[in-house]
Amino acid sequence: MISVDLAISPKRALNQRLHELPTDTAETRWQVLNPQGQHALVAGLDAPIAVDIMGHAGYYCAGMNQQARVTIHGNVGVGVAENMMSGRVHVKGDASQSAGATAHGGLLVIDGDASARCGISMKGVDIVVKGSIGPMSAFMAQAGNLVVLGDAGDALGDSIYETRIFVRGQVKSLGADCIEKALRPEHKATLRALLDAAGVGPEVSVEEFRRYGSGRQLYNFHVDNAAAY
């Protein structure tokens, strides 16, 4: 394992070193010490490596991630895994606003809570939050799955497209055109696979969840729905 201490080495040098790794690199295990909440840590990775950040990270940690497996052993600021394309990002603590925003693929796991706008405009990513999420989560979410073991705040799934939302706890309110839907066998299979991937054991049953998605009333403009746009 290669250890980089950000109390000694600058963040820019670390990111540059990681960006220059070839896809067939033998330097596949990295550890980042003393992150001290710095922003844009390990953003833009594009190699099959594993990176452990030993502490709290700031804004846009692991943004634009491809292939890499990033684990943050602490909390993260705004926009963790923003625009992620593939790979896995695991937050061992809580996440601030816009976790997984606009992400196209991969898996984002948050062991604690996520703040407002979790999964905003998600485009294919899978997000599993073991705690609760804040208001306006999955706003304009287009594709992928959002799984929440805790509660969801106001306006869940506002103006949602085809993302599937699974919530185990209470939903404070649903946003425009977001409705509860049947939890069919194929959805239960997808949900179980995501829970397993996130390390959630069989003691959490898929039967405890409810599914939410688009009512498909806002796809095309209709004057009767003008107030909802």
Average pLDDT over residues 86-101: 98
Q: What pLDDT does residue 218 have?
A: 78
pLDDT in tens, 165-222: 999 999 999 999 999 999 999 999 999 999 999 999 999 999 999 999 999 987 776 7
Q: Which residues of 106-123 are buried (b: 16+ CB within 10 A; e: fewer)?
A: bbbbbbbbbbbbbbbbbb
Q: What pLDDT does residue 229 have?
A: 57
Q: What is the dihedral of CA 189, 195, 198, 201, to 10 degrees?
A: -130
Q: What pLDDT does residue 228 have?
A: 63
Query: For residues 141 and 133, is the Cβ–Cβ distance under 8 A?
Result: no
Report residue 133 as tokens.
Answer: 């999420």
Q: Quick one: how far is CA 207 from the chain centroid?
A: 23
Sheet with 69-72: list strands edge to edge.
2-5, 29-33, 50-54, 69-72, 88-91, 107-110, 123-129, 143-148, 164-167, 210-214, 178-181
Find the domain containing 131 and state its range: 2-228
How far apart (Å, rounded) are the C-alpha atoms in residues 25 and 48?
A: 8
Phi, psi of 224 (to 5 degrees): -65, -20
Output the domain CATH number for residue 223. 2.160.20.60
**HSE of 147 in the Cβ direction (CA atoms, 13 Å)?**
30
Q: What pLDDT does residue 115 have?
A: 98
Phi, psi of 124 (to 5 degrees): 140, -10
Lookup result for tokens 């194929």 = 186
Domain count of the fold of the chain: 1
**HSE of 206 in the Cβ direction (CA atoms, 13 Å)?**
17
Q: What pLDDT does residue 91 have?
A: 98
Which amino acid appears at position 216 of this protein?
A: R
Q: What pLDDT does residue 225 have?
A: 67
